[in-house]
Amino acid sequence: MAQRYPINEIFQTIQGEGLFTGVPAIFVRLQGCDVGCPWCDTQHTWTVSPDRETNLNQVTDKSDTSDAWANATTAEILNEFIRLGYQANHVVITGGEPCMYDLRELTQALAVQGYQSQIETSGTYEVLVDDAAFVTVSPKVKMKGGLVVRPDALLRANEIKHPVATEKDIDALDALLAQCKWTTPPQVCLQPISQKTRATQLAMETCIARNWRLSIQTHKYLGID
């Protein structure tokens, strides 16, 4: 039986964060998340309510945020790319928390069709994806949901994109990194929370000191999705 995924929205835009900043991308946002980040700007994706299920075209054609979702197969998702006339070949699977779901079928199919897939995850679930998928772990430490960041998720990461507000966030990242012994370490990006001046300055100073990379959520400065 084909895997089905709860789709909150599918849209084409420019990736605004991390190593792929500026790259045209198709975003596939999945419904469902129990991590509980207080600053989350997609809280409408947290709950998969049965009474909010709808048709796929109604979530891909919507123009505002909503907790409505559609249950779609991999083939239906790929067909939506074609129906919508999307041209980007980079596909970002995000949420919610996408790794609540087994993403191997979807990411394998994307690779066969010539797409590069990128997963954006909190690292609190096992990462079940195609070997060629690019995994961005944005570790969420001591969030309301009480989930812990998994060492196996960190080890699968190609990029660690860490939200930063204060020094304690840097300390938390250091503790996570100390758990892992990579053959090839992932790129570390620091991302200031809510574009706050203090957080941005701290992230910049730390990136310079450690040769890490700054991720500044350019889409928010540009006012795009």
Tell the burial category of 35 from Cβ atoms under 10 Å away from its Cβ (0-12, 13-18, 19+).
Answer: buried
Structure tokens belonging to residue 189: 């990006």
Chunked into runs of 10 residues, the chain (225 residues) has average pLDDT values of: 92 94 96 91 94 93 86 97 97 97 98 98 97 96 90 96 93 94 91 84 96 80 56
40 is in an annotated binding site: yes
Residue 163 in marked binding region: no
The phi and psi torsions of 213 (rounded to 5 degrees) equal -125, 145
For residue 139, say whether it is annotated as part of any ligand binding site: yes
The answer to whether 41 is a known ligand-binding residue is yes
Residue 39 annotated as part of some ligand binding site:
yes
For residue 16, say whether it is annotated as part of any ligand binding site.
yes
Distance CA 190, CA 211 (A): 11
Does residue 180 have a known ligand-binding role?
Answer: no
The distance of Cα 144 from the centroid of its chain, to the nearest Å, equals: 19
Domain 4-160 sits in CATH at 3.20.20.70
Q: What is the per-residue pLDDT for 62?
A: 73
Q: Is 138 annotated as a binding residue?
A: yes
Q: What is the pTM of this model?
A: 0.93
Consult the annotation and say whether 14 binds a ligand: yes
What confidence score (pLDDT) does residue 95 get? 93
